[in-house]
Amino acid sequence: MSFSRSLFVMYVIFGVSTSGSFAFADCASDGERAINEGKWVEAENILKPCAEAQNPEAQSLLGGLYALPQSGLEDPDLALRWTEAAATQGSWLALSNLAYYYEKGLLGLQADTDRSIALHEAAIKAGSEASKYRLAQLFVFGIGVSADEKAAIALLETRQGEKVGDAHFQVGGMFKNGYDGSGEGSSIDRARLYYEQSARLGHRGAQFFLSELLLDMEEKEMRDEAYLWMAVAALNQHPQALELWHKIEAGADPKIFSELKNAAATCISSQYKNC
């Protein structure tokens, strides 16, 4: 069973860079570069000797290459063989990928959420940032585990490079889009709750997305709140908010626009208590 390039990019190719902690041997690094450039046969030729020499990073990448339909090298058996070999050596990337394969029932595997969760937990211990996000999503939607939004937030807050409000923003996005972006389990109310929590922590992306979410709800009483958060995001230099803000300014009543800008400034100066 094949899967989309977008999922492959998230969990295999760019999964390498989510931790930033591995110093790959030259063959693995060169193989990764060739994959990202779409040079499939070159990547195979680089990675295979290293994988056969038991290099776990090369094994992980080679397994991912054989799982990629558009490479022309797709081979589920080889994909699983090399991914399992790397996972046995403790490669966080392979463990994370294998967890995903079990979650979705890919490469001829029987879908097994319990096995998937155990592998994600092992991947996290080995250093996988991708598995933290994936496991958090399972907590949010109660897939294979009891739904636990607090556990999802706590897990996301341990990711490297996390900024204040990031975890709440990510959970808001999960609820907005549903499991894997499918719409399944989506909840606009829960998305609004987490976007607002993140916005009040100063997350400018959440401020912008909250404003868009409120505008999309098309309820008149929410429009003032939506424009306030748009103004807050713009004053915080969110690029998309700034672009829209300038368009609004061009057609708005100057007095109303000034009042809105002042309200946004008050919101920010109060550390988002008076919004």
pLDDT at 266: 96
**SS3 annotation, 104-160:** HCCCCCCCCHHHHHHHHHHHHHHCCHHHHHHHHHHHHHCCCCCCCHHHHHHHHCCCC
Q: Which two tokens stand for residue 60?
A: 């992980």
Q: Which two tokens stand for residue 148?
A: 């636990």
Q: How many Å apart are CA 256 and CA 55, to the nearest integer?
A: 64
Sequence-ordered list of residues with C-beta below 8 angstroms from that of 127, at least 6 positions apart, any chain: 19, 21, 22, 92
Q: Which residue has the higher pLDDT, 23 or 33?
A: 33
pLDDT at 26: 79
pLDDT in tens, 154-209: 999 999 888 889 999 999 999 999 999 999 999 999 999 999 999 999 999 999 99
Calculate mean pLDDT across residues 212-229: 87
pTM (two decimals)? 0.82
Cα–Cα nearest to 215, from 206, 227, 203, 205: 227
- DSSP of 192-213: HHHHHHHHHTT-HHHHHHHHHH
**Has residue 111 got a pLDDT over 90?**
yes
Q: How many Å apart are CA 227 and CA 247, to the nearest integer?
A: 13
Cα–Cα nearest to 229, from 167, 150, 179, 172: 172
How far lies 151's CA from each of 91, 135, 159, in Å? Answer: 25, 10, 13
Cα–Cα nearest to 93, from 47, 149, 139, 45: 47
pLDDT band at 250 (very low <50, low <70, confident <90, very high): confident
Q: How many CB atoms lie within 10 A of CB 59?
A: 29
State which amino acid sits at residue 150: K
Question: 1-124: what fold?
Answer: 1.25.40
Q: Which three-class secondary structure state does DSSP give residue 197?
A: helix
| Chain position carrying tokens 């894997």 | 180
pLDDT band at 249 (very low <50, low <70, confident <90, very high): confident
Rounded to the nearest 5 degrees, what angle is found at the Cα of 161, between the Cα atoms of 129 and 192?
Answer: 85
Calculate mean pLDDT across residues 127-138: 94
Q: How many Å apart are CA 244 and CA 19, to the nearest integer?
A: 34
pLDDT band at 10 (very low <50, low <70, confident <90, very high): very low
Cα–Cα nearest to 210, from 234, 194, 224, 187: 194
Residue extents of the structural domains in the chain: 1-124, 128-201, 204-275
Torsion angle of C-alpha atoms 255, 260, 263, 267, degrees rounded to 10: -160
Q: How many Å apart are CA 116 and CA 137, to the nearest integer?
A: 13
Q: Which residue has the higher pLDDT, 250 or 236?
A: 236
Calculate mean pLDDT across residues 73-90: 96
pLDDT at 4: 36
**Has residue 92 got a pLDDT over 80?**
yes
Q: How many Å apart are CA 25 and CA 149, to the nearest integer?
A: 39
Contact 99, 11 (CB under 8 A): no
pLDDT in tens, 27-80: 888 999 999 999 999 999 999 999 999 999 999 999 999 999 989 999 999 999
